[in-house]
Amino acid sequence: MATCSDKTASTTRTKRIRGAHRGAITRLINKVSEVTLSGDISRLKQLNQALVNKRNVLLTLDEELLLVVGEEELDSEIEQADSVRERADLAIIGLEEILANRSSKRFEEEPLRNESRLKSEYQRNDRKLSSRNECR
Protein backbone atom coordinates (compact mmCIF):
# COMPACT_ATOMS: atom_id res chain seq x y z
CA MET A 1 0.00 0.00 0.00
CA ALA A 2 1.41 3.40 -1.01
CA THR A 3 1.90 5.92 1.74
CA CYS A 4 1.21 9.64 1.48
CA SER A 5 4.94 10.38 1.20
CA ASP A 6 5.25 7.81 -1.61
CA LYS A 7 2.46 9.53 -3.52
CA THR A 8 4.06 12.94 -2.96
CA ALA A 9 7.42 11.64 -4.17
CA SER A 10 5.78 10.07 -7.21
CA THR A 11 3.91 13.29 -8.01
CA THR A 12 7.09 15.34 -7.64
CA ARG A 13 8.97 12.95 -9.92
CA THR A 14 6.20 13.06 -12.53
CA LYS A 15 6.23 16.88 -12.43
CA ARG A 16 10.01 16.87 -12.97
CA ILE A 17 9.68 14.51 -15.90
CA ARG A 18 6.94 16.67 -17.37
CA GLY A 19 9.11 19.76 -16.89
CA ALA A 20 11.95 18.13 -18.81
CA HIS A 21 9.59 17.26 -21.67
CA ARG A 22 8.23 20.83 -21.68
CA GLY A 23 11.79 22.10 -21.95
CA ALA A 24 12.42 19.73 -24.85
CA ILE A 25 9.33 21.05 -26.64
CA THR A 26 10.56 24.63 -26.20
CA ARG A 27 13.97 23.70 -27.66
CA LEU A 28 12.33 21.93 -30.60
CA ILE A 29 10.10 24.94 -31.29
CA ASN A 30 13.14 27.23 -31.24
CA LYS A 31 14.86 25.02 -33.83
CA VAL A 32 11.90 25.29 -36.22
CA SER A 33 12.82 28.80 -37.38
CA GLU A 34 16.45 28.05 -38.14
CA VAL A 35 15.69 24.78 -39.91
CA THR A 36 12.89 26.42 -41.90
CA LEU A 37 15.38 28.92 -43.28
CA SER A 38 17.85 26.16 -44.17
CA GLY A 39 15.15 24.36 -46.18
CA ASP A 40 16.22 20.91 -44.88
CA ILE A 41 13.04 18.90 -45.51
CA SER A 42 14.27 15.79 -43.70
CA ARG A 43 15.08 17.81 -40.60
CA LEU A 44 11.68 19.58 -40.76
CA LYS A 45 9.94 16.19 -40.91
CA GLN A 46 12.04 14.96 -37.99
CA LEU A 47 11.23 18.07 -35.93
CA ASN A 48 7.54 17.64 -36.67
CA GLN A 49 7.60 13.99 -35.58
CA ALA A 50 9.59 14.84 -32.43
CA LEU A 51 7.08 17.56 -31.50
CA VAL A 52 4.14 15.20 -32.04
CA ASN A 53 5.82 12.55 -29.87
CA LYS A 54 6.67 15.00 -27.07
CA ARG A 55 3.15 16.47 -27.13
CA ASN A 56 1.70 12.96 -26.75
CA VAL A 57 4.02 12.20 -23.84
CA LEU A 58 2.95 15.45 -22.19
CA LEU A 59 -0.72 14.63 -22.68
CA THR A 60 -0.22 11.38 -20.78
CA LEU A 61 1.80 13.02 -17.99
CA ASP A 62 -0.72 15.85 -17.63
CA GLU A 63 -3.59 13.38 -17.37
CA GLU A 64 -1.73 11.39 -14.70
CA LEU A 65 -0.99 14.51 -12.68
CA LEU A 66 -4.55 15.84 -12.86
CA LEU A 67 -5.69 12.67 -11.11
CA VAL A 68 -3.40 13.19 -8.12
CA VAL A 69 -2.91 16.95 -7.62
CA GLY A 70 -4.92 18.75 -4.99
CA GLU A 71 -8.00 20.81 -5.76
CA GLU A 72 -6.07 24.04 -5.17
CA GLU A 73 -3.60 23.14 -7.95
CA LEU A 74 -6.08 22.06 -10.62
CA ASP A 75 -6.64 25.44 -12.30
CA SER A 76 -2.94 26.21 -12.44
CA GLU A 77 -2.06 22.74 -13.75
CA ILE A 78 -4.68 22.93 -16.49
CA GLU A 79 -3.62 26.44 -17.57
CA GLN A 80 0.05 25.44 -17.74
CA ALA A 81 -0.74 22.26 -19.65
CA ASP A 82 -2.93 24.14 -22.13
CA SER A 83 -0.26 26.78 -22.70
CA VAL A 84 2.43 24.26 -23.58
CA ARG A 85 0.04 22.20 -25.66
CA GLU A 86 -1.06 25.29 -27.63
CA ARG A 87 2.54 26.20 -28.44
CA ALA A 88 3.31 22.64 -29.52
CA ASP A 89 0.16 22.44 -31.64
CA LEU A 90 0.95 25.76 -33.29
CA ALA A 91 4.46 24.59 -34.17
CA ILE A 92 3.17 21.25 -35.50
CA ILE A 93 0.53 22.94 -37.64
CA GLY A 94 3.13 25.41 -38.95
CA LEU A 95 5.54 22.62 -39.83
CA GLU A 96 2.82 20.60 -41.55
CA GLU A 97 1.89 23.67 -43.59
CA ILE A 98 5.52 24.27 -44.55
CA LEU A 99 5.97 20.63 -45.53
CA ALA A 100 2.73 20.62 -47.54
CA ASN A 101 3.71 23.83 -49.32
CA ARG A 102 7.18 22.47 -50.04
CA SER A 103 5.67 19.78 -52.19
CA SER A 104 3.49 22.15 -54.20
CA LYS A 105 4.64 23.63 -57.50
CA ARG A 106 3.85 27.19 -56.41
CA PHE A 107 6.03 26.86 -53.35
CA GLU A 108 8.96 25.58 -55.41
CA GLU A 109 8.73 28.66 -57.62
CA GLU A 110 8.74 31.07 -54.66
CA PRO A 111 10.47 29.27 -51.77
CA LEU A 112 12.02 32.25 -49.98
CA ARG A 113 8.92 34.41 -50.09
CA ASN A 114 6.70 31.60 -48.82
CA GLU A 115 9.14 30.49 -46.12
CA SER A 116 9.48 34.08 -44.90
CA ARG A 117 5.69 34.46 -44.86
CA LEU A 118 5.23 31.21 -42.93
CA LYS A 119 8.00 32.08 -40.49
CA SER A 120 6.47 35.52 -39.90
CA GLU A 121 3.05 33.98 -39.42
CA TYR A 122 4.46 31.42 -36.98
CA GLN A 123 6.27 34.14 -34.99
CA ARG A 124 3.17 36.37 -34.96
CA ASN A 125 1.02 33.52 -33.62
CA ASP A 126 3.68 32.64 -31.06
CA ARG A 127 3.76 36.28 -29.84
CA LYS A 128 -0.04 36.34 -29.57
CA LEU A 129 0.02 33.16 -27.52
CA SER A 130 2.83 34.47 -25.31
CA SER A 131 1.05 37.75 -24.63
CA ARG A 132 -2.19 35.92 -23.88
CA ASN A 133 -0.37 33.69 -21.38
CA GLU A 134 1.22 36.72 -19.68
CA CYS A 135 -2.27 38.07 -18.96
CA ARG A 136 -3.18 34.95 -16.96
Note the pLDDT tens digit of each residue in 102-119.
776 444 545 555 556 666
Contact yes or no for 32/94 (Cβ under 8 A):
yes
* 90: number of Cβ within 10 Å: 16
Q: Could you tell me the residue ranges of all domains in the chain?
A: 4-134
* 34: number of Cβ within 10 Å: 11
Contact yes or no for 95/51 (Cβ under 8 A):
yes
Nearest to 106 by CA among 117, 95, 91: 117
Q: How far apart are CA 118 and CA 5, in angstroms?
A: 49
Q: Rg for the chain (alpha carbons), in Å? A: 18
The whole-chain average pLDDT of the chain stands at: 83
**pLDDT reported for residue 8:** 82
pLDDT digits (tens, 9 = 90+) for 42-70: 999 999 999 999 999 999 999 999 999 88
**pLDDT reported for residue 106:** 47
Tell me the pTM. Answer: 0.71
